[in-house]
Amino acid sequence: DAGVIQSPRHEVTEMGQEVTLRCKPISGHDYLFWYRQTMMRGLELLIYFNNNVPIDDSGMPEDRFSAKMPNASFSTLKIQPSEPRDSAVYFCASSLDRERETQYFGPGTRLLVL
């Protein structure tokens, strides 16, 4: 079975540009999570969805960040405008409702904002 798919795997952009990260969860999973990993702050939960509905976005750092899940098989995390301090690895994860705490992670998107 395919795992969580993220694209792009690497993104280099200039400050002020819009960045869109994409995620396809494991088929049949009800929960989707977005995380950010930096050297300074480690792994942080940004937002999570249940059945395509955002449940908790308290980890989203600023209004420049937004996330959507238009259907069960696709989610986006958008940064507009991007800043150098947004440089990080962004992970998407998904889980099944009956064992919702066990999250399976995608390969991550490494973002560099110049």
Where do contacts with another protein occur on this chain (CB under 8 A)? 31, 33, 42-45, 48, 55-56, 89, 91, 93, 99-108, 110
3-state secondary structure of 45: strand
Tokens 């308290």 belong to residue: 58
Minimum distance from residue 77 beta carbon to another protein (Å) = 16
Q: Which one, 33 or 80, has the nearer CB to another protein?
A: 33
Minimum distance from residue 25 beta carbon to another protein (Å) = 14
Q: Which one, 82 or 94, has the nearer CB to another protein?
A: 94
Between CA 100 and CA 96 the distance in angstroms is 5
Between CA 81 and CA 103 the distance in angstroms is 29
